[in-house]
Amino acid sequence: MNHQPVDATTATSFLPMVSVVVPIYNGEADLPELINCLLSQTYPKDRVEYLLVDNNSSDRTLTNLKTSAENCPITIRPLSENQIQSSYSARNTGIRAAKGEIIVFTDADCRPQPQWLDALIQPFVNKEVVIVAGEILALPGTTLLEQHAERQETLSQKHTLKHSFRPYGQTANLAIRHIALEKAGLFRPYLTTGGDADICWRILGENIGRLEFAPNAIVQHRHRATLQELQSQWRRYGRSNRYLHELHGVDLMRDMTPKEYGYRLARWLLKEIPRDIKKAIVGQATLVDLLNTPIGLFTARARTAGQKDAKLPDNAKIIDRL
């Protein structure tokens, strides 16, 4: 995963055809900002197509996609996946229709920065590179929970790239060579979470090539703003780990004991709160600092519950093929 120097002339002339695949479910509200971000990309417009895949939305997503594609200066191809309600199945629909040598993934609620594609594609000049992960940063948040997640860098690829089993990139900002998908297969269409790790690990496990990190290929993503959304997010992380345990044998996350929870809360009340209140008085701490521990314990419990309750469906083991 170490970045290797690339000859500047070669990098400048390296402009493969790129297909950007975006699964969308009830994304009517996100479409205008997403398309503005796609319009702002500095990668040559004649070398990229955008395959926006509606996944059986109940709002006006598909209608608006078709309208946006008309008379647009970039190539937008509206597609539909109505058979399987799964973002991974929708991505597979996009992959099958793609014409590009490189398949790029992001999500409807992400906001790619203008240099995103340029930076994400550049590492592929090295033929050994078959997967590139870009960075995921937070959109400016106003709520306490958003600010806490931004402080923790919850969505950053640095966490997944250091996974103890194998590194992987999240599909919010990921690019894969088409030939690697031909060899290793597509996403598991019935999997509901963990598919980004699964597809990266299958490619890396077959020694098709290596993974590279492109820190300057940036998309921004909004963090969860309510406790319900936060709980759902971390329960999904727990389910993902259970599924990857069953598919790849990764270790399950250890549950915190009641004694450990009690110790963490006592330390927060007796040590951290007095310390952070003193810091807050002189402007060196905020409410985010004061509530860091209880929010962390809340997410830990949600993740534990998700891992405990999850059971991988038999059909989630199916791998789609081109």
Q: From 162, 196, 225, give the residue that closes a domain.
A: 225
- Same-domain status, 211 and 275: no
- Same-domain status, 187 and 139: yes
- Same-domain status, 203 and 312: no
The pair phi, psi for residue 177, each rounded to 5°, is -65, 140
- Asked whether residue 41 is assigned to any structural domain, the reply reads yes
- Same-domain status, 220 and 295: no
Instruction: State the residue range of the domain holding 253.
Output: 245-317
- Mean pLDDT of each 10-residue bin along the chain, 322 residues long: 52 89 96 96 97 96 93 94 96 98 97 98 97 95 89 91 95 98 97 97 96 97 91 95 96 92 94 92 90 94 95 95 93
- Same-domain status, 41 and 138: yes
- Same-domain status, 214 and 299: no
- Asked whether residue 32 is assigned to any structural domain, the reply reads yes
The pair phi, psi for residue 61, each rounded to 5°, is -55, -55
Which residue bears the tokens 């860098």?
153
- Same-domain status, 219 and 250: no
- Same-domain status, 271 and 142: no
Task: Specify the pLDDT at position 10.
Answer: 57
- Asked whether residue 322 is assigned to any structural domain, the reply reads no
Task: Specify the pLDDT at position 222.
Answer: 87
- Asked whether residue 61 is assigned to any structural domain, the reply reads yes
- Same-domain status, 197 and 260: no
- Asked whether residue 201 is assigned to any structural domain, the reply reads yes
The pTM assigned to this predicted structure is 0.92
- Same-domain status, 89 and 127: yes
Q: What is the distance between the alpha carbons of residues 209 and 203, in angstroms, rounded to a whole number?
A: 7
Judge whether 285 and 276 are in contact, CB under 8 Å: yes
Query: Could you tell me the CATH number of the domain that includes residue 107?
Result: 3.90.550.10
Q: Which residues contact 4 (CB under 8 A, 6 or more apart)?
A: 126
Instruction: Say how many domains are in the chain.
Output: 2
Q: From 162, 190, 225, give the residue that closes a domain.
A: 225
Q: Which residues contact 121 (CB under 8 A, 6 or more apart)?
A: 14, 15, 16, 18, 43, 102, 104, 132, 175
Task: Specify the pLDDT at position 142.
Answer: 85
Judge whether 41 and 106 are in contact, CB under 8 Å: no
Q: From 225, 260, 278, give the residue that closes a domain.
A: 225
- Asked whether residue 236 is assigned to any structural domain, the reply reads no
- Asked whether residue 235 is assigned to any structural domain, the reply reads no
Residue type, 145: L
- Asked whether residue 1 is assigned to any structural domain, the reply reads no
- Same-domain status, 66 and 209: yes
- Same-domain status, 41 and 180: yes
Please, which contacts does 305-309 make with residues 24 or more away whose CB atoms are closer than 8 Å? 305/235, 305/238, 306/234, 306/235, 306/236, 306/237, 306/238, 306/239, 306/240, 306/242, 307/238, 307/239, 307/241, 307/242, 307/252, 307/253, 308/238, 308/255, 309/235, 309/238, 309/239
